[in-house]
Structure 1
Amino acid sequence: MADESTTATPDETTETPLGAASGADSGADSGTGSGAEAETYSPQVDVASLQAFLDGRYADVRDLVRGNLVSHADVLVDAEAMSRDDFRDQVRDVVVDLASTGQTGLGLPEAYGGGGDVGASVAAFETLAFGDLSVLTKVGVQFGLFGGAILQLGTEKHHERWMADIVAGRLLGSFAMTERGHGSDVAAVETVARFDPETDEFVVTTPNDAARKDYIGNAARHGELAVVFAQLEVAGERHGVHAVVVPLRVDGELAPGVRIEDSGDKLGLHGVDNGQIWFDDVRVPRENLLDRFASVSADGVYSSPIESRGRRFFTMLGTLVQGRVSVGGAGINAAKVALTIAIRYADRRRQFDSPREGEEQLLLDYGMHQRRLLPLLARTYALHFAQEVLVDDLHRVFSADPDHPDAGGLARQLLESRAAGTKALGTWHATRTIQECREACGGAGYMSRNRFAALKADTDVFTTFEGDNHVLLQLVAKGLLTDYSSEFEEMDQFGMVRFVAGLAVETVLEKTNVHKLLERIKDVLPGGSSDEWDQEAGLLDPNYQLAMLRFREEHMIGGVARRIQGRVRNGEHPGEVLSRVQDHVMATARAHVERLVLEAFVDKLATMPEGDDKVALNLLCDLHALSTIEADRAWFMEHGRLTVQRSKAITAEVNALCRKVRPIAVDLVDAFGVPKEVLRAEELIG
């Protein structure tokens, strides 16, 4: 194989000196100095203290998982050395062993051996992403999806029957939602669960090949039960999608009427036994219906406390939001692994002549290498804090008393929207970051022993796990444009178009908090409420950075509303309208989530005690904010919020911030706390 280790050019991009380029927009705004002083100033990071700050309230949980990762570090080697079936069995054994430590059942009820803490459960799952991702996925299927569905959709009789065995890892199961012909469109699944009053059973049937359950984890080899999502039919009437527990195996053999085939080789996650399932009139007791939101009596009467079929469906799916939160967090943590390897490598690998005669220069000293890795590091920190906000929201909503306002529909809808958006940005960030880090390590990064092969292959599916990211961003946009109106849960995308078309644009904007936030923040900027606020504020003023992202979001919301209204009033069908504005819808949702991410970073910094660690994170926050603005500079210039001169000043400031972060970059990745034993990559990081 040709040597691919040449990863940097000895020629840096020509830059205007910081002081000359930025003037009043220099580092003085963040308290880090300006000009030559700013170029030489470097905070001293306390790695242990910063790790504790990042670990937060669940530091003990994260340390438990780190210890377990070290104990099972050999599984990373087994993934390459074992046959597929042997490795799948090895992953199962690791998962069962992890269950014995208590880390996998933290989100399940204490009464059955769990921890009863949803936030702790997500923290454990995120941290598990430092290690083998087949183990992570198997844990997610078993305890998050399968166990979570029985917990959230079932009632006490189901919990008493199965939960203790699930928590202990004695009963392995599957979450059978996705069908061949209906990926993200869960409401349209075709599997049928028909009630037979003569036998007091449900008959579960796969009516055609498009209705087979596809890519189901734990199905091909280990699953004994499955939570199956099917159209519930009682006395000839369909009541929409409900969940029924169906046996897959009895004493190790396929249950009567169940057919399972292995899904075959995958791009990654070779330790997970994905399978496709057909049900040939499989009979299960009526009690196997998970009946928290709907039940069927022995005499065949269907009832539900939620009258609306659409609201009942979305309420059911809303209880499963923890999986989406967990996958997003796992993606962010996988990016931390890649950055830890790449930045540590760049701090020890020398290449080409350095300013010191006879000595080659470290990769991380090159401006281009800093540009490749350090904005990704800053974004990883930003997403970490955004994920922390999301997990706090999840814990609050799921821990709330049913009569508490936080348990209500709006709180859940806001949670679902934030979870969808954070998952999309977090998993896309993982894909981008892992690829960039692989390239930054040259040919050595291509060797499987250095982790990148597994990281790339195993995280690739995260962008479609728990919902395709593009579909998730459309969910975010629907909430923005409709303000989670009372019809929100029953509103499909066409309904959203009709809803927005019936409002004035000013009404759409007035319904958004962004409109009010932007007006408030202008009051604290140098330009006040004038149109010059964005030209007069310092580049490193967080109020300016937030105002820019809020302006973009508000403008995009208004723009999408105008496009929808104009096309509907011209007589276009809602489906055609949606297709024509879909790119604007996606951009609006992304802008909204990027604003939330930056707000989370700024708010977190406000809670941090003064000191060098805070100075370091201020540098990262500035780097993240200005990199985000720079990445969309064309939009800001098109809409009059960046002049050419100021755009150039932002680029110069990003370069300067990279130089300031460079001396502490290794400390910043060490604070992630990725155990060296799971990094592997000995030839890269020593």
Structure 2
Amino acid sequence: MISLKRRRGGHEARVEISALSGTFEPEWLRPVLDGRWEPIRQEARERMRELRPPAGESGDTEQERARVMDGLRRLAEQGYPRLGFAKEYGGEGDIGGSVVSFEMLGFGDLSLLVKAGVQWGLFGGAVQALGTERHHSRHIRAIMELELPGCFAMTETGHGSDVASLQTTATYDPGAEEFIIHTPVDKARKDYIGNAARDGRMAVVFAQLITDTESGESHGVHALMVPIRDERGRALPGVRIEDCGRKGGLNGVDNGRLSFDHVRVPREALLNRFGDVEPDGTYTSPIENPSRRFFTMLGTLIRGRISVAGGSGSAAKTALALAVRYGEARRQFERPGTGTEVKVLDYLSQQRRLLPALATTYALHFAQEELVAALHEIQTATLQPDGAGEGAGDDDGKAEEWRQRELESRAAGLKAIATWHATQTIQDCREACGGAGYLAENRLVQLKADTDVFTTFEGDNTVLLQLVAKGLLTRFQHDVEDLGTIGLARFVAEQFAEALIERTAARSTIARLLTARGEPDEDDLLDRAWQLRAFEDREKHVLEGLARRLRRAAADDADPFEVFNDAQDHVLRAGRAHVDRIVLEAFVAALDRCDGPAAPLLAKVCDLYVLSTIEADRAWFLEHGRLSPATAKALLETVNELCKQLRPHARTLVDGFAIPGHLLEVPITQGPPATD
């Protein structure tokens, strides 16, 4: 037992840290980490035996694209895409398993991961989620088997995150029973579209649906299947395809730009699960409210955002595995009086750089696992071949609607935090490996280049955190999207309460823990009840502060935009505090499930995640009286002590990810054997 004391102004902070004794095996961690989809993860590891990681980009864009397309064909031949598609069309109907399988690709070639995500996650997923039997029976098998390579054409040059304001039009011609797809202005060009520059033959195009040409009134954004190339790879009439060219990374993915000049497609090209057009031009939808229809449609596509969070987690795990192995092998400077050089990972500065990041990676892994399980349960129940959208707008469907909104909010928040974490972690790992980490052969610079864009695709992270905060403030408000900013502020002023805070699947575990331990003590930093209360209290306080600031928008002379814009710092902090809390709760729930020999090690990892997170936001906790100065200083020493205790187990912790060994066989990890 190690005791740390801090005294200042008559106040003493004491932290008792039990020693972590014994050895631990990676095999003890794997069942906890692999979780519900352990067979899927193991199958993915076997499949990756024949895949080699790219040693670095060649500079030959065509060569890299061809290599990745060959890899995509191998995945199709191995049956990789079947997991996520309906059994009626040759799939396996395992939505959660398909996300996990995609996540595992992140240990290897990230261009292949993204290419697979475009083909089977975005393009194929949109056809399955937004289409009906006429689309499924005709296209799903061809998409799975890669006979029909496709694109997901949503983002426009002028409107990225603002999907509702897309300007591409799909105007119905009742005489010909066709839709006319058109790009009316340059900024309506579909931009950065994966598979568009080289391989795609069909695109799911998101456009404003117009059935009355006289009024030009839109029924909102809908999706249509639009052919863009013939079988010989030539652009079809009216379709303009441009190559985005080389990027900072992911150059095995052929991103392109699409524009349409009055391209005609048959009426049946409309993916009509949530809205259809009769031959005479009559528009019908099972969801009467346009705003609810739009958000329901987008909600079915949430799988892509969740997949990006998982893929970025795999990249962070790979970087940490490389850096820890390097830290074990590399020696620098002699330890006085011993005649031996010190392992780099024995330096506290190196531990401080890598081990809190490793703890956060574990925490995000468990949060991702919960998120995938929630996605699986919701979409397994709702993504049926036909008629799944019916009743979505009825009062009886409100509970299901709120479940979906909570899923979307959590997915947005975790995607933002996980991808930011991957970007920072990979950079820290690169620096921890010195100049050797900058060599392409050691993978780290390629990981950094390939994951950099993860922070902005499938939703810009800053915008996503704003969505999280808005979801927290509008949980019980019906059709809040119709209210606008001033209506939102009035609602907040009248309705804000603790019930707005989302409860995760871990809440029953948390409640038992808090009840059993009673009121936690600030000075006991390792008390799990205190840790949970600290995260929950911060979230609640920030949300209440945000609500007070937004109340000003209800004043008659207030500019609603300025009020909301001026509160952006509070909005982002609220989103971040919320995500931190649900990540911790997911970790605690995982500990509750873990009754094996790895439990003491994971408990220490959880402590390090909590305290390093509080340390990063120490100013807030001090400014708001949640930590005394003495406890804040004890916090720093406790993080140091946890790093020292976890250092002997760092290799075990990264080996617990069970990354296929050949993907880590790079020069940086092949140093001289360590000797004690």
Distance 1:160 1:371, change over 3 A: same
Residues 120-131 of structure 1 mapped to structure 2, 5 A cutoff: 120-131=97-108
The CA distance in 1 between the partners of 2:585 and 2:65, in whole Å, is 42
Candidates 608, 611, 617, aligned match of 2:594: 608
Q: What whole-Å deviation, never above 9, does each CA across 1:247-267 have from its counterpart, x for those lacking one?
A: 010122111110100011211
- Structure 2 residue 554 is the aligned partner of structure 1 residue 565: no
Q: 2:51 aligns with which of 62, 72, 75?
A: 72
1:49 offset after TM fit, Å? Answer: 2.7
Contact residue 4 and residue 638 of structure 2 kept, 8 A: no
Confirm whether residue 622 of structure 1 aligns to residue 642 of structure 2. no
Q: How does 1:42-441 map to 2 (within 5 A)?
A: 42-73=21-52, 76-77=54-55, 80-81=57-58, 83-236=60-213, 237-251=217-231, 252-400=233-381, 408-441=400-433
- Correspondence for 1:644: 629
Distance 2:6 2:166 in 1: 58
1:665 counterpart letter in structure 2: A
Which residue does 1:682 correspond to in 2? 667
How far residue 525 of structure 1 moved from its aligned partner, in angstroms, is 5.0
Deviations 1:44-85 (A, max 9, x none): 222123123211122221122222222121x514x5347211
SS of 1:148's equivalent in the other structure is helix
Contact 1:217-1:273 at 8 Å conserved across structures: yes
- Of residues 459, 463, 470 in structure 2, which corresponds to 1:467? 459
Following the alignment from structure 1 to structure 2, what is the Cα–Cα distance between the partners of residues 398 and 522? 33
| Contact 2:322-2:668 at 8 Å conserved across structures | no
Deviation at 1:680, TM superposition (A): 4.0
Match of 1:488 among 480, 490, 493: 480
Change over 3 Å in CA distance of 1:367–1:246 after alignment to 2: same
> Residue 535 of structure 1: CA displacement?
2.8
AA matched with 2:264: R
Q: Which moved more, 1:228-237 or 1:174-183?
A: 228-237
Which whole-Å CA distance do the structure 2 matches of 1:619 and 1:66 have between them? 28
C-alpha distance in structure 2 between counterparts of 1:525 and 1:59, whole Å: 33
The residue identity in structure 2 corresponding to 1:509 is: E
Helix, strand or coil at the partner of 1:106: helix
Whether 1:595 aligns to 2:576 is no
User: C-alpha distance in 1, partners of 2:399/2:313?
Assistant: 27
| In 1: Cα distance, 2:476 partner to 2:142 partner | 39
Query: Any idea what SS the aligned residue of 2:54 has?
Result: helix
Distance 1:429 1:409 in 2: 30
User: 1:222: Cα distance to partner?
Assistant: 0.2
In structure 1, C-alpha distance between the alignment counterparts of 2:300 and 2:239, rounded to whole Å: 28
Shift of 1:301: 0.6
Unaligned runs of 5+ in 1: 1-16
Please tell me whether the aligned partners of residues 314 and 489 of structure 1 are also in contact (alpha carbons under 8 angstroms): no
Q: CA deviation at 1:399?
A: 1.3
Judged with a 3 Å threshold, the aligned counterparts in structure 2 of structure 1 residues 338 and 669 are, in CA distance, closer, same or farther, namely: same
Tell which deviates more after alignment, 311-320 or 48-57.
Answer: 48-57
Amino acid at match of 1:69: M
Name which of 522, 530, 554 aligns with 1:535.
522
- Of 8, 15, 26, 1:26 maps to 15
Q: Paired residue for 1:555?
A: 541
Structure 1 vs Structure 2: percent identity of aligned residues?
51
CA–CA distance in 1 between the matches of 2:501 and 2:616? 25
Measured against aligned partners, the alpha-carbon deviations of 1:538-597 in whole angstroms (never above 9, x if no partner) come to 211111001001110000010001111135437321100111001101001100000000
- The answer as to whether partners of 2:37 and 2:97 remain within 8 angstroms in 1 is yes
Tell me if the contact between 1:509 and 1:557 (Cα under 8 Å) persists in the aligned partners.
no
- Aligned partners of 1:549, 1:256: CA distance in 2, in Å? 57
Query: 2 CA distance for matches of 1:426 and 1:206?
Result: 35
Deviates more, 1:144-153 or 1:406-415: 406-415
Structure 2: unaligned runs, 5 residues or longer: 383-387, 672-676
Shift of 1:629: 1.1
TM-score w.r.t. structure 1 length? 0.91
SS in structure 2 of the partner of residue 228 of structure 1: strand
Alpha-carbon contact 1:18-1:652 (below 8 Å) kept: no
* Contact 1:107 1:117 survives alignment (8 Å): yes
Deviation, 1:272, is 0.4
CA distance in structure 2 between the aligned counterparts of 1:183 and 1:175, rounded to whole angstroms: 13
Give the SS at the match of 1:485: coil
Aligned length: 648
Q: Distance in 1 between matches of 2:297 and 2:34?
A: 31
2:674 corresponding residue in structure 1? none
- Whether the 8 Å CA contact 2:13–2:631 is kept in 1: the answer is no
Deviations along 1:108-130, whole A, 9 cap, x unmatched? 11222222101100100111000
2:164 is paired with a residue whose SS is helix
Q: Select between 645-654 and 406-415 the one with higher mean Cα deviation.
A: 406-415
Partner of 2:532: 546
Q: How far 1:90 sits from its partner (Å)?
A: 1.5
Residues 473 and 492 in structure 2, CA contact (< 8 A), matched pair in contact too: yes
* Equivalent residue number for residue 512 of structure 1: 501
Which digits, 9 at most, give the CA deviation of each residue in 1:503-540, with x for residues without a partner?
16xx43354368999999876556x3xxxx5435x211
Cα distance in structure 2, aligned partners of 1:667 and 1:345 = 14
CA displacement at 1:98 relative to structure 2: 0.6
Residues in 1 aligned to 2:185 and 2:500: alpha-carbon distance in whole angstroms: 45
Distance 1:681 1:307 in 2: 57
Shift of 1:407: 8.0
> In the alignment, residue 370 of structure 1 is paired with which amino acid?
Q
Query: 1:193, CA displacement in angstroms?
Result: 0.4
Q: Could you tell me how far apart the structure 1 residues matched to 2:31 and 2:580 are?
A: 25
Note if contact 1:219-1:260 (Cα within 8 Å) is conserved in structure 2.
yes
Give yes or no for contact 1:172–1:224 (8 Å, CA) kept in 2.
yes
SS of equivalent residue, structure 1 residue 261: strand
> Which region of structure 1 is more displaced relative to structure 2, 672-681 or 249-258?
672-681
8 Å contact 1:192–1:207 — kept in the other structure? Answer: yes
Could you say what the CA RMSD is over the residues aligned between the two structures, in angstroms? 2.2
